[in-house]
Amino acid sequence: MRTWQADIYRRPLQDGAGNPLWEFVVGEGDRALLIAACPQPALSSAWLTAQITTAINLHGQPDRLQVFRPQSLSLLETACQSLGLSVEATRHTPQLHALLEQRALDYPHLPNYTGEAYDPVALDRPPPLPLADNLWGESWRFAAIAASDLDLAFGDRPIPIRVWPEALHPHTLQLASTTMVPGVVIYGGRQSMRLARWLEQADPVSLHYIPGAPNGLILEAGLVDRWILTTFDDPEAIAAGQSYQQRLQSSQGLHFLLVQPDDSGVTYTALWLLQTGR
């Protein structure tokens, strides 16, 4: 599958009339395919469609366009409709991030640079929202499993909802077989499938233990969504949370989220393999 990654956003630049400039960047891998600027008053989905069409004429048709910035998503979805091009919202666009960061190094040397503070990949992070009580399961726990045992434990199990990207397999990340991969297990009881379907729609990205009063478990999801899965002050859970965060350092951020009806180990409802920093 041929994938492009794209961004359209206001830059620290302006035109001769003092209008802010928006810049469209589309890349494939670590290569920029097209960079085009547009004054804010002239920005429209039609202009953006024309730029994407130019890129397609120059480089051929991709299968999908990946977007990480919420403010870019609706613009690009509208622009791509007439082109029959699928748009995917995802946080995992490291190659595009690298292109934007490299491009940002050029701005201070341009005559129309405004000098304003600018981070090319920063996103607004809303405060986390509490998960609805009627979604949460009966209990939960921190867990860990050796990297070599992940496939043995889950690879052939019939799991209705499974997100298991090849890019996150321990062998792809070249993790040592003895590396402990941390995770969170939720025992959903009768709510198990309902919770799993909600999580599937939310699109989990990563799980973080947040120390404090109280301590919390935060789910990063979608492009910028954040959810408080639970809070706790039990000393054993706090110690397990600290161990969880430490293990993330040695697992290159690899971790998992497992939803199952109970602790029998017979039936699993949903499984996500996740990574911090995605």
For 40, the domain range is: 3-109
Task: Please indicate, yes or no, if residue 121 is contained in any of the structural domains.
Answer: no
Residue 16's pLDDT is: 93
Dihedral, CA of residue 112, residue 115, residue 118 and residue 124, to nearest 10: -100
Q: Is residue 118 part of a domain?
A: no
Q: Is residue 120 part of a domain?
A: no
Domain count, the chain: 2
Would 179 be classed as within a structural domain?
yes
Kindly state whether residues 50 and 140 are assigned to the same domain: no
pLDDT at 176: 95
Q: What is the DSSP string of 3-27?
A: EEEEEEEEEEEE-TTSPEEEEEEEE
Do residues 258 and 199 both lie within one domain? yes
What integer pLDDT is reported at residue 77 of this predicted model?
96
pLDDT lower than 70: segments of the chain = 278
114 found inside a domain = no
Same domain (yes/no): 92, 135:
no
Helix boundaries (H) for the chain:
45-59, 70-81, 94-104, 150-154, 192-202, 235-250
How much is the pLDDT for 182? 98
- Is 57 part of any domain? yes
- Say if residue 147 is in the same domain as residue 99: no
The predicted structure's pLDDT at residue 153: 87
* Residue that is last in its domain, among 81, 109, 137: 109
pLDDT of residue 1: 85
Is there a single domain that holds both residue 248 and residue 151? yes
My answer on whether 30 and 60 are in the same domain is yes
Do 103 and 157 lie in one domain? The reply is: no
The pLDDT of residue 278 is 60
Q: Is 138 in the same domain as 89?
A: no
Report yes or no on 169 lying in a domain. yes
Q: 108-114 long-range contacts, Cβ below 8 Å, gap at least 24?
A: 110/13, 112/13, 112/14, 112/15, 112/16, 112/21, 113/12, 113/13, 114/12, 114/13, 114/14
The answer to the question of residue 116 being in a domain is no
My answer on whether 105 and 155 are in the same domain is no
Of the three residues 48, 76, 109, the one that is the final residue of a domain is 109
